[in-house]
A and B are shown apart, each in its own frame.
Chain A
Amino acid sequence: MNNLKLNDTPVRTSRNFNINNIKLMDVDIPEIIDDFNNLEIIGEESQVQNNANINKSKLIYGLGTELEKLNEKSNKDLKIELDSTDEKEIQLNFKFDDNNLTLLENIEIIANENSKSTVILKYISTNKEKAFHNGIIRVKAKKNSEIKIIIVNLINEESNNFISIENNIEENAKCKYIMVDFGGKNSITNYYSNLIGESSENIINTIYLGKENQLLDLNYIGELRGKKSNIDIDVQGALKDNAKKHFKGTIDFKKGSKKSKGNENEFCLLLSETARSMALPMLLCTEEDVEGNHSCATGKADNKQLFYIMSRGFSYKEAMKLIVRARFNKIIEQIDNEKLRNEILQEMNEKLD
């Protein structure tokens, strides 16, 4: 059992605010790492190199040295190199079952120049057993490439889910993320994007849903370096029961990022009086000619909306589901894969029951 201090924000604020990092008590960090064999690849398998010799350079941020070091003992190293220009989709399903309860994976994704592609990473539990997941994903979006990365976390609510993401986005490259964060007793994400190229673009759309005693800690950091670069973070979530969420989002306009834009928006719907939502949307700026906006809002479902839907014959619970679904839909609809979309909607319905 270990106590972990993870996911430091790039700039500290008062310790009394309890948001500079997250402390987890009594986390079972696996010592013996067995193979992880339940990986299903849908799409062009040749793009994925298993047990590849991949980039494991030190992360700029990451969740913390302890977890980064842990992945030196990884049981999955995957390199995905994307060349196609026809927006082909490749899906990797990591399934946790009785024989595969620990996954420490390093994934390197390279979107080559002018390529257009979609990568789906789905993490799902097929049982109620406590699993441990620590993933490090490094992405390089080369010049003029377009890449869409969909990360879906449907791990059971007993497990620990840790993900660190690091993106380098070059000139004119577009990197879009859709993240669905539903699972895990603790689901802790560190997301870092380095928008180094001129006119580089990074869009992040996240939905999260917490219930019972789930804890979500999202730490998103975007550093804009290239001229006319653009980052857009949109996070929509709902919390019920005693669920707790920390959203920390940082947009950092570095010197030289003239004419860049950064937007950040977080909305948290509270579905119970004991749910707790914390947010720290930071804007850091050392460049004059930029435009940065952030907003965040927290509250319960609008009574008028509820009344309207219930007057059409829906129960309170159904009405609530519809409201959450309406908020989530604009993000879910961006997933082209219908099967996956339905799977997410089904999980959402179950969680809200």
Chain B
Amino acid sequence: MKNNIDEINRNVYDIKNKDEYEFKIKKGITKDIIEEISKQKNDPSWMREFRLKALEVYNSLELPTWGPDLSELNMNEIATYVRPKTKLNTSWDDVPEDIKNTFDKLGIPEAEKKSLAGVGAQYDSEVVYHSMKEELSKQGVIYTDMETAVREYPDIVKAHFMKCVPVHDHKFVALHGAVWSGGSFVYVPKGVKVDIPLQSYFRLNSPESGQFEHTLIIVEEGASLHFIEGCSAPKYNKVNLHAGCVELYVKDNAYLRYSTIENWSKNMLNLNTKKALVGKNATMEWVSGSFGSKISMLYPMSILNGEGAKTEYTGISFAGKGQNLDTGFKVVHNAPKTSSVVNAKSISKNGGACTYRSLVRINENAKNSKCSVSCESLMLDDISRSDTIPVSDIRTDEVEFSHEASIGKISDKTIFYLMSRGLSEEDAKAMIVRGFAYPVSKELPVEYAAEMNNLINLELEGQVG
């Protein structure tokens, strides 16, 4: 019995625009190149120095000795900065036609009209469009691109930029520190509740280039926010690199939900870093769907620094032919009465490989903390691969920690049951996979749906339903 659940139909995402740009930096990573990027971006001097220091760190660090094979990545072949032929626009009409078309097809302006409080769209290395509902700016919410933030809010940026994710964390964070460009900056003042989500969309069009956007979100005490991030790129034969960095500050009693729907093309190396510092009684929720990219190494992290802080991770990855998705979650309990819940799912098909890799650390001071981890993997054929590599490090006794995981195929009994109710075998299987993915898809805003739902449906209904 073989399963006909199809891989994701990528037609919409594979639309390539002509590789037009105003400026594309030379390939490779050298001091001159970094200085040129800094000049092109009109960096203040502190940022220029920061970049150069990060470059030193980058040169001093090794590639990871674990995880997927990154040998095909040749930094000398990657252009780290590509400025599209447009400036930052606040009206959709001003965005150049070809870029606008791409985003139109991806459903971005539609989503904005219907269900978003603000939208940012990044094309290659620069943000080309940014807008936010007026009532939010009246309440003091700031939502802008990172470059504007560096210029207009230097104190806030200086106090937070790469403090949560230091450049020494790993080689690709150091690289990011040196060449970062674009990304979003969100500041939600004390007590302000942003009811409808903000969204940033990242699109990499230029071949043999990299996208290194920096997202910095600060949710002040008692405030709340839902932020959605989407990513895609058309497929080229050469590898592209995405090494973004997301820093989230969730202050005391605040709430942040960070949702990602990632659908990079299958020549993309997605080596992204995301981390949140969570304050007293604050809540940080991650929702993550990984569908695209050739290789992903992505492990969002919550550091629960305040008493009573909570975090939740709900993630799904779907690896098809030629994909190696190494994803997971890291949490450090660093204060009493903190709690974390992890729910990870993966589906491997057609030779794809999924790995769930994680860390749970409960420190000496995290008395009365709780953590529960569950991961499930579904294998849809016998040429794929699915691994679970979870580490737990428990350093105190007043804790409750449990981890469970399972791996397997769709049970014949369940298929038989559904078929006895009149479903065809394919429908039965599709229904089971849909049910398997449901705990993740239900966490996403239904109205928005433009991407994740599309992906799930294409995946399940493609050839099947």
Binding site for B on A (CB under 8 A): 11-15, 17-20, 253, 255, 258, 268, 270-300
Contact = CB atoms under 8 A, between A and B. Distances in A.
A288 B391 contact: no
A290 B407 CA distance: 8
A323 to B, nearest CB: 13
B397 A275 contact: yes
Interface in B229-275: none
B461 to A, nearest CB: 22
Interface of B: 64-67, 357, 359, 364, 367, 377, 379-382, 384-409
Given A280-B391, A283-B405, A293-B407, 19 more contacts: A13-B67, A13-B391, A14-B359, A20-B66, A253-B407, A273-B396, A273-B397, A278-B392, A280-B389, A280-B390, A282-B387, A282-B389, A285-B386, A286-B382, A287-B379, A290-B409, A291-B407, A294-B405, A300-B399
A299 B64 CA distance: 32
Contacts of A296: 392, 402-403
A255 B381 CA distance: 11
Contacts of B359: 14, 17
A295 B375 CA distance: 10
A14 B64 contact: yes
B431 to A, nearest CB: 19
A77 B292 CA distance: 55
Given A14-B359, A17-B359, A299 B387 contact: no
Given A288-B381, A298-B401, A277 B394 contact: yes
Nearest to B353: A286
Contacts of B391: 13, 17, 19, 278-280
B410 to A, nearest CB: 9
Contacts of B385: 285-286
Given A11-B387, A15-B65, A295-B403, A288 B394 contact: no
B406 A292 contact: yes
A285 B407 contact: yes
A283 B397 contact: no
Contact of A300 (B380, B395, B397, B407): B397
A288 B377 CA distance: 11
Given A278-B391, A278-B394, A299 B379 contact: no
Contacts of B387: 11, 282-285
Most chain B CB within 10 A, of A13, A273, A288, is at: A288
A282 B377 CA distance: 13
Q: B-side binding surface: helix, strand, loop or mixed?
A: strand
Contacts of A291: 406-408
A255 B388 CA distance: 17
Contacts of B403: 279, 281, 294-297
A293 B359 CA distance: 18
B389 A13 contact: yes
Given A278-B394, A289-B382, A297 B389 contact: no
B394 A276 contact: yes
Given A285-B377, A299-B400, A14 B66 contact: yes
Nearest to B356: A283
Contact of A294 (B364, B388, B401): B388
A286 B67 CA distance: 16
Contact of B394 (A12, A13, A290, A298): A298
A271 B397 contact: yes
B148 to A, nearest CB: 34
Nearest to B379: A288
A289 B409 contact: yes
Contacts of A287: 379, 382
Contacts of B407: 253, 283, 285, 290-293
Contact of B399 (A20, A286, A298): A298
Query: Which 4 A/B pairs are nearest by Cβ-Cβ distance?
Result: A270-B397, A12-B66, A292-B407, A288-B382
Contact of B404 (A275, A286, A295): A295
B66 A13 contact: yes
Contact of A295 (B386, B405, B408): B405
A288 B384 contact: yes
Contacts of A253: 407
A298 to B, nearest CB: 4
B28 to A, nearest CB: 27
B354 to A, nearest CB: 10
A275 B66 CA distance: 28
Nearest to A262: B407
B398 A300 contact: yes
A118 B387 CA distance: 35
A293 B394 contact: no
Nearest to A299: B400
Contacts of A20: 66
A18 B393 CA distance: 9
A13 B357 contact: yes
A281 B390 contact: yes
A163 B404 CA distance: 28
A12 B380 CA distance: 25
Contacts of A295: 402-405
A277 B394 CA distance: 5
Nearest to A20: B66
A23 to B, nearest CB: 15
Contacts of A277: 392-394
Nearest to A300: B397
Contacts of B65: 12, 15
A141 B257 CA distance: 54
Contact of A293 (B379, B384, B386, B405): B405
A283 B398 contact: no
B406 A293 contact: yes
B346 to A, nearest CB: 11
A308 B399 CA distance: 20
B382 A255 contact: yes
Contacts of B409: 288-290
Contacts of A299: 397, 399-401
B166 to A, nearest CB: 13
B393 A282 contact: no
Most chain A CB within 10 A, of B395, B400, B409, is at: B395
A275 B398 CA distance: 11
Contacts of A15: 64-66
A94 B405 CA distance: 39
Most chain A CB within 10 A, of B380, B387, B394, B403, is at: B394
Contacts of B389: 11, 13, 280, 282
Contacts of B364: 273-274
Contacts of B393: 17-19, 276-278
A17 B367 CA distance: 21
Contacts of B380: 288
Nearest to B408: A291
A263 to B, nearest CB: 10
Contacts of A11: 66, 387, 389
29 contacts: A12-B67, A13-B67, A13-B389, A14-B64, A15-B64, A272-B397, A274-B364, A276-B395, A277-B392, A277-B394, A278-B391, A279-B391, A280-B391, A282-B387, A284-B387, A285-B407, A286-B385, A288-B382, A291-B407, A292-B407, A293-B406, A295-B402, A295-B404, A296-B392, A297-B401, A297-B403, A298-B401, A299-B399, A299-B400
Contacts of B405: 281, 283, 293-295
